[in-house]
Amino acid sequence: MEPLDRDLEEGLLELPSEPMMLNMGPSHPAMHGTVRIVLELSGEQILKADVQIGYLHRGFEKMCERGTWSQVFPYVDRCNYVSPMLNNVGYALAVEKMLGVTVPERCQYYRVVLGELARLCDHMICSGAMCMELGAFTPFLYYARARENIWDIFEEETGARVTHSFGRVGGMASPPTKYFKDMVRAAVPRVIALIVEGEKMLLKNRIFLDRLEGVGVMSKEDALALGWTGVVLRASGVPYDVRKAHPYMVYDRMDFDVPVGTAGDNYDRFMCRQEEIRQSARIIEQALAQMPDDGPINIDDPRVVMPPKNDVYTTIEATIQHFKIVMEGLKVPAGECYSYTEAGNGELGFYLVSDGSGTPFRVRIRPPCFASTQGLEQLIKGAMIPDVVPTFGSLNMIGGECDH
């Protein structure tokens, strides 16, 4: 029999081949619905990736130019639909910055609590979806069940579970209900308990850790240059949180920590999100304790805030006020402004241009996950196809926000 180990030249063993193009298409279970990644592969390894977004482009900026300033709220809700309250608050703050008004304190606490509840939902679902895509279906179900608790609160307060459109310029659509504080205080510990249960299943699992650790590493300088903000930036080691760096509303009265990672890999992003969930719970607790139980929610400016419905039907002033705000829109002084808040994914910016009328001239949303998804190509180059799934999941790309 011939010996098996014959001396062969290395070159003879390599088969010449062209790299294979694989399309992780726009309809894909792990692509969060709407991203197409065209991969150039050599075997299982990715040589080049072309991330194509825009499959959920719904013309947000063009639609805003066709209504009034208040009619933007439903559109803005549907941008980051996992944490819609944060978008509402961000946009309301932007218009209020241009108007030069500050909402009363009770409203600020209300906005903070609802916003942090929305942030809880966002981080939970991001972690849950990432686990589901890795095959761990159970933590996803636990987190989805936990989210139902939070959505019960939103349903009680705003009337809707997902897209509330609850923010208004100069306040909120309606004041907190009688049971608001009790419901939140009852729900948050249950949510945290479910989070802990989910983590118990994951954090000691060798497979889970192997798939996340060391994969999708982004260095600090690259993350800054790419325009990353939020959890993905903090996981790379930069302690930048808009709530601490440029405090807005009553965040400067809250005592909370900002988790910062070291390695900048998927595991760090996952753990930063989990820790932020706990910090959000802390903020909610403090805000509820500090929130006044009575007081106005809306500012007292008839040019901005709608009058109560009773008055609209009985007094002429309220009728005119209602008419002007609905038909012409509230008048924002001409000029431009950029206002930013910490949304679920990072710095959510609104660049508004007004020409002095009730219709926005330009509403530009600066989506945090647009910048994050931009970095995806760099993260997956050189990795294998299975690495794409947790990497993409850990970036928390929300289609509505990325494609606006």
H helix runs in 226-345, sequence order: 231-235, 242-245, 266-290, 309-314, 316-323
x/- map, 222-261, another protein, by CB under 8 A? x-xxxxxx--------x-x----xx---------------
Candidates 45, 55, 260, 381; binder of another protein (CB under 8 A) is 55
For residue 22, report the phi and psi dihedrals to the nearest 5 degrees.
-120, 140
Residue 66, interface with another protein (CB under 8 A)? yes
Residues sharing a CB contact under 8 Å with residue 330, sequence separation 6 or more, in sequence order: 68, 69, 70, 99, 169, 303, 304, 358
CA-based nearest residue to 400, from 371, 369, 374: 369
DSSP string, 7-66: ---HHHHPPP-PPEEEEE-SS-TTTTTT-EEEEEEETTEEEEEEEE--TT---HHHHHTT
Distance CA 111, CA 299 (A): 14
Residues sharing a CB contact under 8 Å with residue 115, sequence separation 6 or more, in sequence order: 83, 85, 86, 89
With tokens 């996952």, the residue in question is 270
Nearer to another protein, 17 or 27 (CB): 27
Q: How far is the CB of 277 from another protein (least distance, A)?
A: 18
Nearer to another protein, 27 or 262 (CB): 27
Tell which positions 274-333 bind another protein, by CB under 8 A.
none
Judge contact between 281 and 121, C-beta under 8 A: no
x/- map, 330-359, another protein, by CB under 8 A? -----xxxx--------x-x-x-x-x----
Residue 78, interface with another protein (CB under 8 A)? yes
x/- map, 11-50, another protein, by CB under 8 A? --------------xxxxx---xx----------------
C-alpha 4, offset from chain centre: 58
Residue 195, interface with another protein (CB under 8 A)? no
Residue 162, interface with another protein (CB under 8 A)? yes
Q: How far is the CB of 152 from another protein (least distance, A)?
A: 10
Residue 366, interface with another protein (CB under 8 A)? yes
In 105-264, at which residue ranges do the beta strands (DSSP E only) sit?
167-168, 171-172
Candidates 134, 306, 371, 397; binder of another protein (CB under 8 A) is 371
Nearer to another protein, 285 or 400 (CB): 400
Contacts with another protein by CB under 8 A lie at 25-29, 33-34, 53-59, 61-63, 65-66, 74-75, 78, 81-82, 97-98, 100, 125, 141, 144-145, 147-148, 151, 161-163, 222, 224-229, 238, 240, 245-246, 335-338, 347, 349, 351, 353, 355, 361-362, 364, 366, 370-371, 373-374, 399-400, 403
